[in-house]
Chains A and B, each alone.
Chain A
């Protein structure tokens, strides 16, 4: 059995155990309506994680996408409050946030600034800017009447929630891009060895920039869904995306040994199902954070399992 298969089996066993536990504890857990609800919730984490997956694939870290998503959601709410329609508001905000993502990409890719610190910096700055739309207050005006709430409440063919449709569409496109197209190769080459990628004729800075733009865009889409579910423009809504998104990407890496679209989805699914189950069991939210964070750390350990085993062996040998 290959390494990947082993991790996959270990992971599926773990997931089955979680599902079984929740099913035994809550009779509501294994119902269609709960699963539709859970998938809606999943889509938010999953979309944000998918964007981050691109940045991790090019070997960088993005610590700004959750802050950026706050800016995008506030920009959207602002456009709606001053009378624009939902479609224009969403697209205009995405355009704004894409240019900010490009800024990240240029700073890290073109000027070679350190990714972590730079994105913490740009993220915090953009989060500060997001306060300009309303001074930090909720934006209610026009929100409920504008039709933006369809982004969360709407259903395709009367059954599939729009957030799930958006998630499936983005995952399909990303899968094509990262795993089926020639461009996907370049993302991985850049992330693996930027120097070798450059000498292979790949425009490294360009791929870094694209990854940061995608990360900012996808997190913003996730947060727009989240905000439209809440029925008001709230500035802090996106802040909570950071940890689950990182956790999802790393759970994926721990199974498939590299950041992948399908791995990220499985990671997001696991985290989301845990959050859903704990909510049904009325476990306080801070326990939830605790468990999700633990699974992040656990998966990082798993992802580096080879490194850790050699380290332990070395210790033993003295």
Chain B
């Protein structure tokens, strides 16, 4: 670590009521990939925003390439060669890949005639692209590109900046499937070869060891340590401990030892080309984990089991009774509840209170003669806030102001309030920090004592960690259905990636 690309020292940033960065230090060596970890609210986002020139600091010093500097705006940040690729990169869907790559450049030009040399930019983009492990057709509109290709375009946009020296990737894999994530890792290696230093923000501990040279953990606005990313020295639990600050055993609760009565089953369920002949049985005290990649049909399977899609063939049976679900409302009436995967679009109603959201699926529970009783509403909500440790615990607080993990818990609380018999959790911990994750898994386990529960996710480790029985879906078909104790994680993953053929 001879040459430092970036050094930040004693950085403090206060927001009303919150000390976001508290005398924080951070160092980035030239040409390294440096993972930045921390639970929500640890200060990582603020640190990134300081570098991007969005937040100004209250005190502290910053050196870029050994020169002390003040980043007083996004323009200054760009001049210093710092670029950020955000979680959901801003792009114009109808514009071609090239046009989107150039967007950043065009907007940074000033003057009456901000001409840019498109030909030179095109050449440069192609040059960079050649080093990438995937071939993106930059003449296609963005809307036609796969998530990984869009990520690639966003990265290209950062790289065509003339003097790029520091690239910040903010949870880049959150919208990617596993295979796509691997492509991204190769891209990162290619960028490293160009001498770009990379700050890599993630929630996924495994990625840290795959992609980074060093990692830094933030907690309560401070740097609690920077370490070499050496798998032999640190386990996931070690890192999680650093993030949380206290002793933490495995984030997954114990497995169930006994299995109760059958509650729910799907038989030979099919929906178009999405999935075919899927049969799964669900019991009390058994969490069924369904793993499949994005696009394997698991999303459609969830939606069919919840009445949002109609199956072409097959039978859904609730407590021994065959049901035909015509809508989500039907499913809820039959005692089925889906905690959807995309909580921002499908989960919660924004700018309404936590209580509004929690009670939404069972309004009769809080009303008399059709009128809402505020007291009943408040008490019911408080009970669930307490049970799921939703913070802050104000039932009339605005749900949009909660952190991702607490929003997810509020959506789960909405499901719990319906007192259903069958719960489907789709991607239950996307964008949720480790602390909230453990709590969510615990709540699912508790629920499984009396209900049939299913966790459906494209995160194999999560499915394997939480479930008693694992079902793997590959290209719309069940390729593995076994007790978790009887298969290995690797085995499950291989089935999900390639249907069980070991040519991965």
Binding site for B on A (CB under 8 A): 176, 180-183, 185-186, 188-189, 192-193, 195-203, 257-258, 317-318
Q: List 30 A-B contacts (CB under 8 A).
A: A180-B371, A181-B370, A182-B366, A182-B367, A182-B371, A185-B356, A185-B359, A185-B360, A185-B363, A186-B363, A192-B349, A192-B350, A192-B351, A193-B345, A193-B350, A196-B347, A196-B349, A197-B349, A198-B327, A199-B328, A199-B346, A199-B347, A200-B328, A201-B332, A202-B360, A203-B327, A203-B329, A257-B351, A318-B73, A318-B74
CB distance from A258 to the nearest CB of B (A): 7
Taking A185-B363, A198-B328, A258-B351 as known contacts, 14 extra A-B pairs with beta carbons closer than 8 A to each other, sorted by chain A number, are A185-B372, A193-B345, A193-B348, A196-B349, A197-B360, A198-B308, A199-B328, A199-B340, A199-B346, A199-B347, A200-B414, A201-B332, A201-B361, A318-B73
In the complex, what residues of A have CB within 8 A of residue B349's CB?
Answer: 188-189, 192-193, 196-197, 200
- Contact mask for chain B residues 326-344; partner A; CB cutoff 8 A; 1 contact, 0 none: 0111011100001010000
- Measured in the bound complex, the distance between the Cα atoms of B370 and A176 in whole Å is 10
Are B329 and A196 in contact, with the CB atoms below 8 A?
Answer: no
In the complex, whether B364 has a CB less than 8 A from a CB of chain A is yes
List chain A residues, Cβ under 8 A from B331: 201
Asked whether any CB of chain A lies closer than 8 Å to the CB of B306, the reply is: yes
Could you say which residues of chain A place their CB within 8 Å of the CB of B371?
176, 180-182
> Is B352 on the interface with A (CB-CB < 8 A)?
yes
A203 CA to B351 CA in the complex, in Å? 21
Kindly state the separation between the CA atoms of A197 and B360 in the bound complex, as whole angstroms: 8
**A200, B361: Cβ atoms closer than 8 Å:** yes
Partner of A201, one of B73, B329, B345: B329
**Minimal Cβ-Cβ distance residue in A for B414:** A200
Majority secondary structure of chain A interface residues (helix, strand, loop or mixed): helix
Instruction: Determine how close the nearest CB of chain B comes to the CB of A253; give it in whole angstroms.
Output: 12
CB contact under 8 A between A183 and B370, given known A195-B346, A317-B74:
yes
Q: Nearest chain A CB to B221's CB is how many angstroms away?
A: 24
Chain B positions within 8 Å of A193 at CB level: 345-346, 348-350
Instruction: Say yes or no: is B75 at the interface (Cβ < 8 Å to chain A).
Output: yes
B445-473 interface with A by 8 A CB criterion: none
Q: Which residues of A contact B367 (CB under 8 A)?
A: 181-182
**Residue in B closest to A189 when the chains form the complex, CB atoms:** B349
Please name all residues of chain B whose beta carbon is closer than 8 Å to the beta carbon of A197 when the two chains form the complex: 349, 360
Q: For the complex, give the distance between the alpha carbons of A203 and B328 in Å.
A: 8
In the complex where A183-B370, A185-B356, A185-B372 touch, is A318 in contact with B75 (Cβ < 8 A)? yes
User: B361 touching A196 by the CB < 8 A rule?
Assistant: no
How many A-B pairs fall under 8 Å by CB? 80
Size range of the chain B interface in the assembly = 35 or more
Shortest CB-to-CB span from A188 to chain B, Å, is 7
- A186: nearest chain-B partner, CB-CB: B363
CB contacts (< 8 Å) of A176 on chain B: these are 371
Min C-beta distance of A68 to chain B, whole Å: 28
Kindly name the residue among A176, A181, A318 whose own CB sees the greatest number of chain B CB atoms within 10 A: A318
Interface residues of B (CB under 8 A from A): 53, 73-75, 306, 308, 327-329, 331-333, 338, 340, 345-352, 356, 359-361, 363-364, 366-367, 370-372, 414, 418
Min CB–CB distance B166 → chain A (angstroms)? 20
Closest to B374 in A: A180
Quick one: closest B residue to A316, CB to CB?
A: B73
A67 to B364, CA, bound (A): 37
C-alpha gap A192/B437 in the complex (Å): 27
A186 CA / B364 CA spacing, docked (Å): 12
Q: Are B346 and A196 in contact (CB under 8 A)?
A: yes
How many Å lie between the Cα of A150 and that of B88 in the bound state?
Answer: 61
B324 vs chain A, min Cβ distance (A): 17
Chain B residue nearest in CB terms to A176: B371
A199: chain B residues at CB < 8 Å are: 306, 308, 328, 338, 340, 346-347
Smallest CB separation, A203 vs chain B (Å): 6
A192 to B346, CA, bound (A): 11
Residues of A within 8 A of B370 (CB): 181-183
Q: Least Cβ distance of A178 to chain B in Å?
A: 11
Q: How far is the CB of A236 from chain B (nearest CB, A)?
A: 39
Task: Report the minimal beta-carbon distance from A196 to chain B, rounded to whole angstroms.
Answer: 5
| List of 5 A-B pairs having minimum Cβ-Cβ separation, nearest first | A182-B363, A201-B332, A182-B367, A201-B329, A200-B360
* Cβ contacts under 8 Å, B345 to chain A: 193, 195-196
Give the chain B neighbours of A318 by CB distance below 8 A. Answer: 73-75
Partner among A192, A201, A203, A317 whose Cβ is within 8 Å of the Cβ of B352: A192
> Most chain-B CB neighbours within 10 Å: which of A176, A180, A181, A199?
A199
Give chain A residues whose Cβ lies under 8 Å from the Cβ of B308.
Answer: 198-199
The answer to whether B414 and A188 touch across the interface, beta carbons within 8 angstroms, is: no
Q: Which of B74, B328, B333, B418 is the most central at the interface, judged by chain A CB atoms within 10 Å of its CB?
A: B328
A201, B328: Cβ atoms closer than 8 Å = yes
> In the assembled complex, how far is the CB of residue B27 from the closest CB belonging to chain A, in whole angstroms?
27
CA distance A252 to B73 in the complex (A): 37
Chain B residues whose C-beta falls within 8 Å of the C-beta of A186 in the assembled complex: 363
Cβ B372 vs Cβ A181 within 8 A: yes
With a cutoff of 8 Å between Cβ atoms, the chain A residues found around residue B348 in the complex are 193, 196
Q: Which residues of B contact A192 (CB under 8 A)?
A: 349-352
- With A182-B367, A199-B347 known as contacts, the answer to whether A189 contacts B73 (CB < 8 A) is no
* Residues of A with C-beta under 8 A to B361: 200-201
Bound-state CA distance A103–B74 (Å) is 51
Q: A158 vs B333: C-alpha distance in the bound complex, in angstroms? A: 52
What is the bound-complex CA distance between A257 and B340, given in angstroms? Answer: 27
Q: Which B residues lie within 8 Å of A182 (CB)?
A: 363-364, 366-367, 370-372
- Report the minimum CB–CB distance from A62 to chain B (whole Å): 22
Contacts of A189 in B (CB 8 A): 349, 352, 360
Q: Which of B74, B332, B338, B370 has the most CB of A within 10 A?
A: B370
Shortest CB distance A252–B (Å): 16
The answer for the CA separation of A185 and B359 in the assembled complex, in Å, is 10
Nearest residue (CB) in A for B54 is A317
**Which residues of chain A have C-beta atoms less than 8 A from B329's C-beta?**
201-203
Query: Please, which residues of chain B bring their CB within 8 A of the CB of A203?
Result: 327, 329
Residues of B within 8 A of A198 (CB): 308, 327-328
Q: Which residues from B are CB-within-8-Å of A185?
A: 356, 359-360, 363, 372
Give Cα A317 to B340, complex, Å.
Answer: 38
B332 neighbours in A (Cβ, 8 Å): 201
